[in-house]
Structure formats: C-alpha cells, structure tokens
Amino acid sequence: MRRFAVVGSPIEHSLSPLLHAVAYRELGIEDAVYERHEVGAGELAGFLTGDGAGLQGLSVTMPGKPEAFVLAAEHDGTAAALGVANTLVRRRDGSWRAENHDVHGIVAALRDHGAGTVRRAGVLGSGATALSAALALCRMGAQEILLSARRPERLAPVVDLVTTQGADARIVPWDDAAELLGTEVVVSALVAAGARAVAEEWRARPDLPVVPLLLDVLYDPWPAPLAGLLGERGTEVANGLEMLVHQADMQIRSMVGAPSAPVAAMLDAAREQLRR
C-alpha cells in the first residue's frame, strides 16, 4: 500500500485528505492511502525519519514549505524560483523531489473565471502566498504588478521576484491600496482579519474602482470580506478553494502517476464538506 499525507500545523481542518480520497475513488486507485500529520516548524526532517519514513509523497502546508524546499535533493522550476515547496515526492534513491503547485493553482483558478493574458495586476498582502501570486501573474503575462501590504518592508522578496521575471513591481502605500483595483486582476493574500479591516474601509467609498477579476485566497467562511464586497459591485470572484483543488490536481498527478485528477468531483466534495 502506497502512503501519502498532508503535513503542517495546524492540520486538523485540512481538506487535502478529502480531496485526495475523492480522487483515488474516482480514478479507481485502491493501493494508496492519504493521511494527515501535525508537523510544526522545524519538525519536518525529524518526521520524515520517524513516523513519515514510509511515505511516498507529501502535501506540505505552512509552516513547513521552506523546510520542504531545503530538504529536497531536486526541485522543479517553480519551487526553485520561489524557494518554497508545497509537495514532496520520493525519488527512486529514497531522496525527495520538491515541487510547488500553488502557482498552478492560482493560474488555473483565474483561467476558470475567464482570465487570459494579463498586463497589469495587483497583489494584496505579503508572505508566501503573495510570492506565489506574483509569480503566477508574471506567468500570465503581467508587465506591471502593484503590491500593497500593511508592512511594506515584507514586500522586498516579492519585488525581487517580479523583477527577476522581467516585470515592473510598484509598491503602493497601504492607505492607497484601493489603487490596485484599477488593474485587470487582483489577488488578495490577506488573512481574514486583515481582509475584514480593508473591506470595512472600502465599503464606505462610493468611488471604489471595480476590478474585473479578484482571486481571494480565503474560502471558509464564504463569501470572504473582500470577495463579498467586490462581488456586490460587479467583480468576478474566484476563491481559494478553487486554487486548493487545482494544486491538489497536480499533486495527485505527481504522487500516483495519474494523467489528471477529477477536479470537478473534488471541488463538489469540498464545497459539500464546508456546508456542514
């Protein structure tokens, strides 16, 4: 029996076990199981030589993504560009290959909502998700990316990444973050509390621009604060659940060798779970 798992902390509410179980069922895979393990910061190496020694692949959530990258002997192009990985696949010699499918998840979710080539885009927030969003937008053709975060000093890695991709990065002061809504696509990488504060401020603005497409990485509860506000004003909205399912699709391909995963069935199952 092949063993796979999702690791991170906290991990109790991860939807990954459900998504992978649905995929195995739909694909007729009977020789694989998918587990969940609580693995905190700095604990991944020890886990892989202990309880995780028999695993053939892992989905890695925070805080383990940087550590997963460092532990691997091989990296795909996206992981190498970002310096973080959300997937580990065991190689024939027992070492690990690190992959990053968050970028694919963002691109695919935006494509599902009609995005084509993007020229100007915006990213709200900082951190690993903002970094993935910036790379995704660059790969969709963005030539200029507006960035805004409550702590602008944390945007330095994002600026560096955008620049290395041949695009222009411009930091917009946090108080002027609504300027990002004047672009073609915005990805909000804000946590719930930050998104709620921004939505409350923006709701009072009758002149708020209407961005054509928003990807809000939040999904539970839904609608998230910014998604709800901007959706009411005419913005097409994608959510983080769609991103999660699309990146799981790529993980399943890498882990079990399937040509593709049943994305629609996985998304339906996840939505049903969140309604409970």
Q: Could you tell me if 270 and 140 are in contact, meaning their C-beta atoms sit under 8 angstroms apart?
A: no
pLDDT at 245: 98
Instruction: Give pLDDT, residue 263.
Output: 98
Which pLDDT score is estimated for 180? 98
Q: What topology is assigned to 2-100+244-275 in CATH?
A: Rossmann fold (3.40.50)
How far is C-alpha 211 from the geometric centre of its chain's CA atoms?
21
How many Å separate Cα 81 from the centre of its chain?
Answer: 15
pLDDT of residue 27: 98
Quote the CA–CA distance of 25 and 198 in Å, as a whole number.
Answer: 41
In this prediction, residue 127 carries a pLDDT of: 87
Domain 103-234 CATH class label: alpha beta
Q: Distance between CA atoms of 169 and 191, rounded to whole angstroms?
A: 22
Q: 65 an active-site residue?
A: yes
**Is 173 exposed, middle or buried (CB count within 10 Å of its CB: 0-12, 13-18, 19+)?**
exposed
**Which residues have CB under 8 Å from 244's CB, separation 6+?**
15, 16, 19, 105, 219, 270
Per domain, the residue ranges of the chain are: 2-100+244-275, 103-234
- Residue from 39, 61, 65, 103 carrying the catalytic annotation: 65
Evaluate whether 2-100+244-275 and 103-234 have a shared fold: yes
Token readout for 118 is 């993007």
The helices-and-strands tally (H runs, E runs) of the chain is 11, 12
What contacts 159, CB < 8 A, 6 or more positions away?
147, 169, 171
Mind listing the pLDDT tens digit of every residue in the chain (276 residues)? 999 999 999 999 999 999 999 999 999 999 999 999 999 999 999 999 999 999 999 999 999 999 999 999 999 999 999 999 999 999 999 999 999 999 999 999 999 999 999 999 999 999 899 999 999 999 999 999 999 999 999 999 999 999 999 999 999 999 999 999 999 999 999 999 999 999 999 999 989 999 999 999 999 999 999 999 999 999 999 999 999 999 999 999 999 999 999 999 999 999 999 998
